Structure formats: C-alpha cells, structure tokens
Amino acid sequence: MGFYWYQSDPDLLEAEQMAMGKYFPSFKLYKLEDGSGRLYWRGKVQPTGKGGMVWDLMLIYKNTHPQAEEGMYGGSIQILPVKPRLVDIAKTLPIKPEKGLGLGLPHIYRDNFGRNEEYFICTADPKYFKASQTRSTSAASSLSWACKWIMLCEMWINGEVSDEVAIEGVY
C-alpha cells in the first residue's frame, strides 16, 4: 500500500495511461518537482482546429485522485493552461461579477500553484463530475472538457458567442 494514489492503485494509473495514450498520445506524464508527489500530463491542443490558438496545458492530479473534494470545481484533476496563461488573458478583460465574469473569464477558478496564484479551467460542475471508487473521471475526459471550454472561450473572446457562456447550465 503506497502513500500516493498511483502507488496504492496501480491499476488506476494504468487505466489513466491507457486512456491518454489512446485519445491524446502526444501528452506525456511527469511528476511535479515540488516534493508533492503529484503527477501531471503536459501537452498541446488546438480545439478550434487549424488556424486556432495552440494551448499548452498541464493536467495535474490532486493527491486525492480519484476522490473529488466536496464543492471542488474540476474534481481531482486540475487543468492549468501554461501558454497562454489565463491570468494574463483575464487582465485584458473587464470584470463583470454579475454576469459570472468575476475573474474576467467564464468558468475559471483561482488556486495556489507553487509560489504563484494561477487561474485554472473550471471544467465541470461538481454535480456532473464523476468521482468515486468505481467511477472516477480520467485525465482524458477532463481534457475533453477543457477543449470544450477552450473552444467556447475563444469564441466568446472573438464575440462569436455572448456573455451567456458564463451562465451555469447554458453550455
């Protein structure tokens, strides 16, 4: 029995690797070098296709994986855009809390990461997020959520969808 989820449940780690290898083979698995023991996937996606932005992403497992803590948006896997950084995009946008845009961008949350506070993609409402011993959400499914968010976010920034994108339950 190991300390970390991937030690105590190697079958789950293998399932995660198989899913990522099948659906997102360009992503590679690493361990954070901060002593936390947390694993993460890193790779690039282009959700709007050719001509769209390329996003460099980290998918970081919490050490509670596959258990999601109560009220935690995004469950036990955090999605951190490395380039572009959401905090940099958000700085250029107006803050409209009444429209769900309190951080400038829709469906994001902030958390500490290393020495910085970063903005993460808020991939799913906790009530939709599958997390239990028998049905965990994988990095692959989290990444598919993130690609959905990125496509909608780019469209919103370009004025192709309205501020309704920030309303829970619309998209």
Partner 1 sequence: MNNNADEDAVAARRRALAAALRGGEDVVVTPSGEVEFQSEAEEQGHTAIQVPDGKLARRG
Segment interacting with partner 1 (CB under 8 A) among 5-13, 38-46, 62-70, 76-84: 38-46
Quick one: which of 3, 49, 92, 112 contacts partner 1 (CB under 8 A)?
Answer: 49
Cβ atoms 5, 21 nearer than 8 A: no
Give whichever of 32 and 53 is closer to partner 1, judged by the CB atom.
53
Sheet hosting strand 116-121, strand order edge to edge: 28-31, 39-45, 55-61, 77-83, 116-121, 108-113
Quick one: which of 36, 125, 132, 163 contacts partner 1 (CB under 8 A)?
Answer: 125
Residue 104 Cα distances to 47, 81, 119, 126, 164, angstroms: 21, 16, 11, 21, 14
Segment interacting with partner 1 (CB under 8 A) among 1-9, 30-38, 62-70, 97-105: 97-105
Cβ atoms 80, 60 nearer than 8 A: yes
Residue type, 1: M
Neighbouring CB atoms inside 10 A of 84's CB total 12
Segment interacting with partner 1 (CB under 8 A) among 8-16, 31-39, 59-67, 106-114: 106-114
The answer to whether 113 contacts partner 1 (rule: CB under 8 A) is no
The answer to whether 152 contacts partner 1 (rule: CB under 8 A) is yes
Identify each DSSP E strand in 6-104 by its residue range: 28-31, 39-45, 55-61, 77-83
State the nearest-atom distance from the C-beta of 64 to partner 1, in Å.
18
Residues that bind partner 1 (CB under 8 A): 22-26, 44-49, 51, 55, 73, 100-103, 105-110, 122-126, 128-130, 137, 140-141, 143-145, 147-152, 155, 160-161, 165-171
